[in-house]
Amino acid sequence: MGRFGKYLLLTCSVLATKCTVLPAVAASSKTTAETGPHPAGPHGQAVSRRGVPGTDRATEGSVLGANPQAEEISVRAAGRHADGTTNTTPGGGLMPRQTAPRSQSGVTRDFIAKQAPTGNISSMIANLPGVVYANQSPLATAGDNITMRGMNQTQIGYLFEGAPLADPINYEPYTAMLIDTENLGSVTVSQGSPDLNAPTFNAVGGQISATALNPSHRSGGFINLMGGNKSANKEFIRLETGDIGRSGIRGFVSFSHQSNNNWRGPGGLRRYHVDAKFVKEWGDDNSITAIFGYNKQEQTPFRSPSAAQWKQWGEGLSYTDHYTPGDANYYKLQLSNLNSQDVVVPMHFTLARGLKLSVTPYFVHQFGPAVGGENIPASGGAFGTQTYGDLGQPYVTGGRITTVAVDPWNQKVGAVNTSLNWTSGHNTLSGGYWYSYAMHEEHSTFATVDPSGKPANSYGKYGIRVDGGALLSGYNLNFMQQINALYLADTLKLLDDRLTLSAGFRAVMVSRQGTNDIPGADPYKTVRNYFAPLPQLAVSYAITSEDQIYINGTTSFRAPGSVQAYSQIFDPNSVGATSQPGSLKGEYGIGEEIGYRHNGALVHLQLSAFNMNLTNHQVSSTAYIPGTNTLISMPINAGGETIRGVQGELGLKPWHHFSPYVSAQYLHATTDNNLPVSATNAAGQSVIDYLPTAGKTMVATPHVTASVGLAYDDNRRFFGNFSLRYISAQWATFMNDQRVPAYVLSDITLGYRLPHVAHLKGPKIQLNLVNIGNNLYRSAPASIVTSARSRVGLFGNRTNAGSPIYLVGGNFAALVSLSTGF
């Protein structure tokens, strides 16, 4: 390594003879070198401390949570830059070391720090095998639309610092609310199987675990300033306390502001965000960590076109940029607000030799509102199953009132996850308990719009009232959920710790009840209880110190997503419900994997084959309430599904400053059942028929995905990377008669580290070019239908045609950022 001159890196690894156990609330991959600047060691070198979370290299893990971990001491001399990069992870940060007995990939600071600072957790993993990230904005600010092995984000368990901060009812992760990418330490992706001890109950499609940077032992900070096209800008600052005396406490607090114009259509985004993390360590692996997050975000959403609208308008379909009376498509009447406060407090204690306790309480508060323009009848409209009289509102045009439909959703979650782990000799016994209580309120209202296009009563704070004084509403939902989960696992290491046998069992109990206080709602109250037994088994064998084979069998469960699955949705323009409760059966998956992994001195390689069978597969779909700009989420029970495929990735450690990476997946997923549809018989009556969907390719499951990356970093001045992603065509209908065409995307990063500047540490300038080909494309189905054409069902009845809507991918963006430590 002498070619790096003063950038000397010496790493000494001492493998412990005993295995330690991953705490039940931790992500499945833990790391062994601190992500923040290192404390000063002898002669100015930096020495890491054992057991510090949030680092940039994944170590051994178990699908069951019993995690044999290496004890490492890393000595570095100026090897880490101010942005947290070390230029040591294979594939330019896309292939950290993995040893878990399952398909598992990840990204580290070596990759994250070189991406656009507007990104989110989902956008950071877009190059990993099997991951399809369907963006709507080149800045990755418009949501988490991803699939893994054909499962979307609502079927994937999201953990941040070991806690599930995603919406526990709709399962949307909203990762842009969780953390600024400048504070993101690492992300680990487990395709297809979750940890047995993870506090999730929807992870049939796998698990995504993210950690924040660990606070530095030195006081200082980091600043990043960004600007780009579409008036994009971001200002970020992080302040580090360093070690506070001899208290063992250190922490950081950061603040950011971000804004931009929408890349298509009027409107834009404004976001304010705060992150904080404090750590207290003492004794033998005892620690208490407190993580706090705050987010205030308002964005004009994008319109999702149908195939016909896309053909006619392309990316030009958008909301109008000026208001005329009666125009419910005016952009200022469409807003999506994502606000949150979250607190996570992981605590780890060594009770006795080989006996460890982990306790993680957490609290999450997420709230809106979301608003959308809608014209409603001035009189004679519907309030539930009733008809209202004259609303007595001003500004009536043609017998209709232009309003904003306000959805002030409000959700609070309090929970605690615990585990107790006992290691004796070559055996580790783990047990744990998770309890969660969630409350969700969602009472829609309407606010009249004045002739200037401004809501006349403060976005429905007071609302429009019908005769009798009740607020006009389409739904008034109150929802409660309790989760109790128990797990027990055992891990045995044999043959000089080369053979690892793990087995475990988890029992998840979900209790839900909800009411809809709208006249005529049927049912008014819904109560459902779910119980799922979840056994897991894994076998791993280390052929050499660099080569590993594994096989596992896992199970997973997911209760139906969205409160709309339990309640009717009404609208003033429709007599009767516009949306009926969906299937309330839980989704259950049984999966198997076999894989090979090589963690060499230069080359890292992973290959795996997988099979999964699902019952009551819940396909998440969104659709506009007819005649409105209000989107609702509804699960579709697609019955059984069979998923089979192979995936792999290859990455090289820096070789002559270059780090190539390639990943690919072939996926064959089919529907196992003929699906029921609404139809009309010869007598003109509405009946239920079936369409021959059995054996068809499952929706939103591209057969082939691939990624190629090349990173360069001379570890002194110049750095950059290039990535290219290919997504093959994917169906939007169960009958496979309308689809999203295949597309290719590519991004480039170019950067330069400035020479020494007084009082600054590692200043750099970075250029991110996103979608350099400026491809205009549909990125994924936003809604799913059975068939895009009218057909004759299996029983001879005529079925209706559906019209899927689509997400539109973001176009070209150029972003320049200047950052430095201090």
For the stretch 334-361, what's the b/e string if a residue is b when 16 or more beta carbons lie within 10 angstroms of its beta carbon? bbbbbbbbbbbbbbbbeeeebebbbbbb
Using alpha carbons, select from 695, 726, 733 the residue that is nearest to residue 708: 726
Q: Which helix (H) or strand (E) holds 92?
A: helix 90-93
* Span 10-19, pLDDT tens digits: 333 333 333 3
For residue range 517-567, list pLDDT tens digits in order: 999 999 899 999 999 999 999 999 999 999 999 999 999 999 988 887 888
Q: What is the pLDDT of residue 464?
A: 92
- Beta carbons within 8 Å of 314's beta carbon, 6+ residues apart: 776
421 pairs with which residues across the strands?
A: 356, 430
Sole residue written with tokens 């209580």: 437
Query: Which of the four pLDDT bands, split at 50, 70 and 90, describes residue 26?
Result: very low
Q: According to the model, what pLDDT value does residue 623 have?
A: 66
| Nearest alpha-carbon partner for 404 in 436, 439, 445, 367 | 445
d(CA 726, CA 707): 6
153: tokens are 């984000």
pLDDT recorded at residue 48: 34
> What pLDDT shows up at residue 49?
33
Per-residue HEC secondary structure of 622-658 comes to: EEECCCCCCEEEEEEECCCEEEEEEEEEEEECCECCE
DSSP code for 32:
S
Statement: residue 42 has pLDDT above 50: no
Whether 504 contacts 544, CB under 8 Å: no
* Percent of residues, the chain, with pLDDT higher than 70: 88
Neighbour tally for 313: CB within 10 Å: 12
The answer for residues whose C-beta is within 8 angstroms of residue 46's C-beta and 6 or more apart is 37, 38, 39, 40, 75, 76, 77, 80
> What is the structure's pLDDT at 22?
32
What is the pLDDT, as a whole number, of residue 577? 87
- Peptide bond just before 369 cis, omega within 30 deg: yes
> What mean pLDDT is predicted for residues 299-306?
93
Q: Read off the tokens for 722.
A: 């290039």
Query: Do residues 197 and 432 make contact, with C-beta atoms less than 8 angstroms apart?
Result: yes
Indicate the pTM of the whole model.
0.88
CA–CA distance, 315 with 221 (Å, rounded to integer): 41
Q: What is the C-alpha separation between 490 and 426, in angstroms, rounded?
A: 11
Nearest CA among 117, 175, 169 for reference residue 146: 175
pLDDT band at 632; cut points 50, 70, 90: low
pLDDT at 4 over 80: no
User: What pLDDT does residue 459 have?
Assistant: 54
Residue 552 in contact with residue 536, Cβ under 8 Å? Answer: yes
pLDDT per residue as tens digits for the range 647-672 = 999 999 999 999 999 999 999 999 99
* Choice between 757 and 12, residue whose per-residue pLDDT is larger: 757
pLDDT surpasses 70 at 473:
yes
Q: How confident is the model at residue 738 (pLDDT cuts 50, 70, 90)?
A: very high
Q: Is pLDDT at 578 greater than 60 in this prediction?
A: yes
Per-residue pLDDT averaged across 787-811, rounded?
A: 93
Cα dihedral: 192, 193, 198, 201 (round 10): 70
Lookup: tokens for 355: 């006996």
The DSSP annotation for 671-734 comes to: E-SPEEEEEE-TTS-EEEEEE--TTSBPTT--SEEEEEEEEEE-SSSEEEEEEEEEE--EESBT
**Could you tell me the CA-to-CA distances from 219 to 37, 281, 796 in Å, in that order?**
10, 17, 75
Domain ranges within the chain, ordered by starting residue = 2-370+382-821
Q: Is the pLDDT of residue 27 over 50?
A: no
List the beta strands (DSSP E) in 285-354: 286-299, 335-344, 347-352
pLDDT confidence of residue 135: 87
In the predicted model, is pLDDT for residue 336 greater than 70? yes
On average, the pLDDT of the chain sits at 87
Specify the higher pLDDT residue, 50 or 798: 798
597-626 burial string, b = 16+ CB within 10 Å, else e?
bebeeeebbbbbbbebbbbbbbbbbbbbbe
Place of tokens 């020495």: 47
Grade residue 326 by pLDDT with cuts at 50, 70 and 90. Answer: very high
pLDDT in tens, 94-131: 999 999 999 999 999 999 999 999 999 999 999 999 99
Q: Which tops the pLDDT comparison, 342 or 626?
A: 342
* Number of Cβ atoms within 10 Å of the Cβ of 107: 29
User: Per-residue pLDDT averaged across 195-223, rounded?
Assistant: 93
Following CA atoms 262, 263, 266, 269 in sequence, which dihedral angle do they give, to the nearest 10 degrees? 0
pLDDT of residue 43: 30
Radius of gyration in angstroms for the set of CA atoms belonging to the chain, rounded to a whole number: 27
Residue whose entry in the numeric block shows the structure tokens 């300038």: 765
Contact assessment for residue 287 and residue 320, using Cβ atoms and an 8 Å cutoff? no
Mean pLDDT of 22-40: 34
Candidate CATH numbers 2.102.10.10, 2.40.50.110, 2.40.170.20, 3.90.1180.10; the one for domain 2-370+382-821: 2.40.170.20
pLDDT digits 0-9 by tens, 159-193:
999 999 999 988 999 998 999 999 999 999 999 88
